Structure 1
Amino acid sequence: MRLTPARLRPRDVLQVGSAGLRTRPLRVFLSALGIAIGIAAMTAVVGISASSQAEVDRQLAALGTNLLTVSPGSTLLGGTASLPPESVAMVGRIGPVRRVAATGKVPDTHAYRTDRIPEAQTGGISVQAAHLDLPAAVGAELAAGAWLNAATERYPAAVLGSAAARRLGITAAGGQVYVGSMWFTVVGVLDAVALAPELDSSVLVGWTAARTYLKFDGNPTTVYTRTADSAVEAVRAVLAATANPAAPSEVKVSRPSDALAARRATSKAFTGLLLGLGAVALLVGGVGVANTMVISVLERRAEIGLRRALGATRGQIRAQFLTESLLLSALGGVGGVLLGVVATTLYASTRSWAALVPVWASAGGVAATLVIGAVAGLYPAVRAARLSPTEALGSP
């Protein structure tokens, strides 16, 4: 009469496969840690990158991609060109243009906290004349006080950029700064301007006040233009010729939102590099799992021989050790995903971002560990299954 070996149910396979893990907790922890480090690195990299890109997309959605700037370029002889005073009005007559404003740098003039500071110690705080509708054009918001109005723009009043306010030690309206040879009253402080960072380190005064008190010549340095979204490229193509018809080649036209998009592209390239490093760490963890399983087979030859003598088939022995390898890798994978999510959340909180870990990254991390576990445990499982009962029981 031929005996048929008993079939193991999936539950039995899991119990037998997890027995080796329960008896060697320290070795299991160290092996799973290698997998967890690789998965945590990959999950955190993807999560931080996704959070960063989401923040850039949020900024682009809030600030818009329809802001174009016009500024002087260089002359044919290498000198510094200039925009004519009427350039703002001419740009404003372009059909799709919705809003236009300008700033003009006041030459040889800087702002100081007191009148006791030597003129050479400027701290990089420049003075710029500004149009009244500048905040609406560049998407600037006030941190304190108010923006210039039709009354204050004619008198010695100033609004500080965020960086200039920190350097001057003024965080609220009501203080005074020494500009040129006279005092200007601070009426407002701006938040950081993402699309016009040059404003952050400037002291902004009214266009009329700059001409009256600071000998400003009235030539704009930068013209900010908001256009209809569908006509950005068309307006961009004619801005130079419109702003300076006599010398369009001496005009620079840029799109500030391109800098944010470039930052997103750079972030993607950097993410690819870090993912490669995470894959190397994952490979090292897989080697650790394979090493653990090979040693486990060598140490448990007697157990294998006893199970074979009691009727276990080669397939059941193979399934036992393959299951053990998969469970070991799964522990590392789940632990790594959790560590990666925690790392992403902590980093995003320090940057005031919304933490975002794509589902595919978490699921892919666990799936990758299962693949690593299957590959790492295949050879030890096959080797264990090939042991005959007499060879296994006779080993020391």
Structure 2
Amino acid sequence: MTVRTHGTSPSRPAGGQRPRAPRHGGRRGRGDRPWTDPRDLWSESLAGVLARPVRSVLTTLGTVLGIGTLVITIGVASTAANQIVGRFDALTATSVSVVAPTPPPGSLDPPLVRWTDVEAVRRLAGVESAAALSDSQNTSNVQVKANDVVAPGTVNGQTLAVVAADPALPTAVRGTVTTGRFFDTGDIGRHERVAVLGYQAARLLGIADVRDAPAVFFNGQSFTVVGILGGFRREQRLSASVILPPTTAADRMGLKQVTRVLVNTSLGAAAQVARQAPIALAPGHEERLTVLAPPDLSRARKGVEGDVNGLFLVLGLVSLVVGTIGIANVTLVTVMERVGEIGLRRALGASRRQVAAQFLAESTTIGLLGGVVGATLGVVVVVSVAGVKQWTPVLDLRLALGAPVTGALVGLLAGLYPSLRAARMEPVDALRAPS
């Protein structure tokens, strides 16, 4: 039978002591250690962040700027590097040259490469255009005049190179005939004494129009200028040359053998064409030909992208460090302002670990929110810049998806010292501290 007296309860044990209430945190875990439910910890940290919304927003801006700058700089750098390398590929990675050795003077050996052999190269897969050239040391410096009148004390001639080429040369050098026309197979078949001037040669000779059939004079012979070739994107030195039909150059200048073949290929086909072109031009003697092909640009692409990304990555990391310092500073100020709250929580039974966990959760929440907002803004900026420049945006999805995690880690690291300082506070000292 239980006897109840005033001021006592049936559950009170012997000795008159009341059972201790569980400490703040809800339940006891292993070893009788108090612990906090993760949901409670999250709600308390979120409440702490929302309690000072203006300060939390300003603190989050540091992480937003850091993560956003990191995403923007790496994204824009990758996009720009891809554009630079793409243009580099388009201009250089499709050009192949085959050089034939020049026979010694007086040699009776047949030409290693004939003018008609170029047609075999044009039939190769991946070849877009090809043209044959013939030049020599004897025709590299020829005195060319725009008229045959000799006036005392005046110089009306220029030292220019004279070369022979087939009618496909304008396409092979990616140029255009700005005035007149280029010689054709009819001119070649009739051995016509016609010439096409590179635009620099025409300017040096004072010829701007060919409608009046101007002539140039060299080696005691006259040649009618039928066109001016400009817009060279390849073989720029031909812009200061006089270009003759193959038959005319063989008859008048002794240029009988093809010395170079210029080949333009589709992107990615240069290596294959470089292997096949010598066999098509000189079967059985391909080892005597020298092929000038672009190097493998995969390493160059990686090098350009790596250099640009490395430069901008440093800038992004600097911004991220600034954001980390901002979170740490504000979290420390928050700890100092909430000394009374910390003391009260400790007095009610909260452990050091629980106090530290709350402030760590608050700083991590701020970092996570900053990472999400910063990554979103960064992706929008990268796509916008690429759209304005009409580029193809290049952005590593791992970077965009990992940015929130990075922001959370930044917040976690930034909150380590303030949370440890809050955890080391003694309840009595905290409660005595001025609020």
Q: TM-score range by the shorter chain?
A: 0.5 to 0.7
Letter in 2 for 1:132: P
Quote the offset at 1:85 in angstroms.
Answer: 4.3
In structure 2, the CA distance between the partners of 1:335 and 1:383, relative to structure 1 (3 Å rule), is same
Q: Deviations over 1:13-70 (max 9, x none)?
A: 668547767337777656654554444332222101222344456668xx9x6x7533
Letter in 2 for 1:235: Q
Write the distance in 2 (CA, Å) between the matches of 1:344 and 1:101: 38
SS in 2 for 1:300: helix
Which residue of the other structure, out of 34, 44, 65, is the alignment partner of 2:76?
44
Q: Deviations over 1:244-282 (max 9, x none)?
A: x5xx76532233xx25x53x5323212212322333333
Write the distance in 2 (CA, Å) between the matches of 1:395 and 1:103: 93
Which residue of the other structure, out of 78, 81, 91, is the alignment partner of 2:117?
91
- The match for 1:205 is 244
Which residue of the other structure, out of 279, 286, 291, is the alignment partner of 1:238?
279
Q: Deviations over 1:267-319 (max 9, x none)?
A: 32122123223333333333222211221122112454466558996444332
- The match for 2:331 is 297
Q: In 2, are the aligned partners of 1:91 and 1:242 still within 8 Å (CA)? A: no
Quote the offset at 1:378 in angstroms.
Answer: 1.2
- The match for 2:165 is 130
Write the distance in 2 (CA, Å) between the matches of 1:41 and 1:71: 45
Quote the offset at 1:392 in angstroms.
Answer: 6.0
Counterpart check, 1:189 vs 2:229:
yes
Which residue of the other structure, out of 138, 141, 151, is the alignment partner of 1:108?
141
Write the distance in 2 (CA, Å) between the matches of 1:27 and 1:117: 77
Write the distance in 2 (CA, Å) between the matches of 1:177 and 1:41: 58
Q: What is the 5 A alignment of 1:36-75?
A: 36-55=68-87, 68-73=96-101
Letter in 2 for 1:219: Q
Quote the offset at 1:219 in angstroms.
Answer: 2.8
- The match for 2:6 is none
In structure 2, the CA distance between the partners of 1:69 and 1:8, relative to structure 1 (3 Å rule), is same
Q: In 2, are the aligned partners of 1:34 and 1:288 still within 8 Å (CA)? A: yes
Q: In 1, are the aligned partners of 2:147 and 2:156 still within 8 Å (CA)? A: no
- The match for 1:217 is 255
- The match for 2:304 is 270
Write the distance in 2 (CA, Å) between the matches of 1:160 and 1:104: 16
In structure 2, the CA distance between the partners of 1:84 and 1:126, relative to structure 1 (3 Å rule), is farther
Counterpart check, 1:326 vs 2:362:
no
In structure 2, the CA distance between the partners of 1:152 and 1:30, relative to structure 1 (3 Å rule), is farther
Q: Which structure is higher in RCO with an 8 Å CA cutoff and minimum separation 6?
A: 1
In our comparison, the structure showing a higher alpha carbon Rg is 2
Letter in 2 for 1:133: A
Q: In 1, are the aligned partners of 2:42 and 2:361 still within 8 Å (CA)? A: no
In structure 2, the CA distance between the partners of 1:365 and 1:239, relative to structure 1 (3 Å rule), is same
Write the distance in 2 (CA, Å) between the matches of 1:203 and 1:368: 61
**How does the TM-score come out when normalised to structure 2?**
0.62
In structure 2, the CA distance between the partners of 1:232 and 1:242, relative to structure 1 (3 Å rule), is same
Letter in 1 for 2:167: L
Q: Deviations over 1:97-132 (max 9, x none)?
A: 55864112243236688997665x65xx63322112
Letter in 2 for 1:109: V
**Which moved further from structure 2: 169-178 or 39-48?**
169-178
Q: In 2, are the aligned partners of 1:83 and 1:219 still within 8 Å (CA)? A: no
Write the distance in 1 (CA, Å) between the matches of 2:51 and 2:203: 63
Write the distance in 2 (CA, Å) between the matches of 1:364 and 1:379: 21
Root-mean-square deviation (CA), in Å?
5.1
Quote the offset at 1:237 in angstroms.
Answer: 5.5
SS in 2 for 1:278: helix
Counterpart check, 1:355 vs 2:391:
yes
Q: Deviations over 1:323-376 (max 9, x none)?
A: 212333445544555555566567xx5xxxx5122242xx34434543442332
SS in 2 for 1:87: coil
Quote the offset at 1:171 in angstroms.
Answer: 8.1
In structure 2, the CA distance between the partners of 1:102 and 1:297, relative to structure 1 (3 Å rule), is same
Q: In 1, are the aligned partners of 2:198 and 2:229 still within 8 Å (CA)? A: yes
Q: Deviations over 1:174-233 (max 9, x none)?
A: 586856375753524343345x55545544332244456x63432323134689979746
Write the distance in 1 (CA, Å) between the matches of 2:113 and 2:339: 92
Q: In 1, are the aligned partners of 2:97 and 2:261 still within 8 Å (CA)? A: yes
**How does the TM-score come out when normalised to structure 1?**
0.67
**Which moved further from structure 2: 302-311 or 313-322?**
302-311
Q: In 1, are the aligned partners of 2:361 and 2:412 still within 8 Å (CA)? A: no
Quote the offset at 1:168 in angstroms.
Answer: 7.8
Letter in 2 for 1:282: G
Q: What is the 5 A alignment of 1:3-82?
A: 4=26, 7=39, 17=49, 22-23=54-55, 32-55=64-87, 68-73=96-101
Letter in 1 for 2:164: A
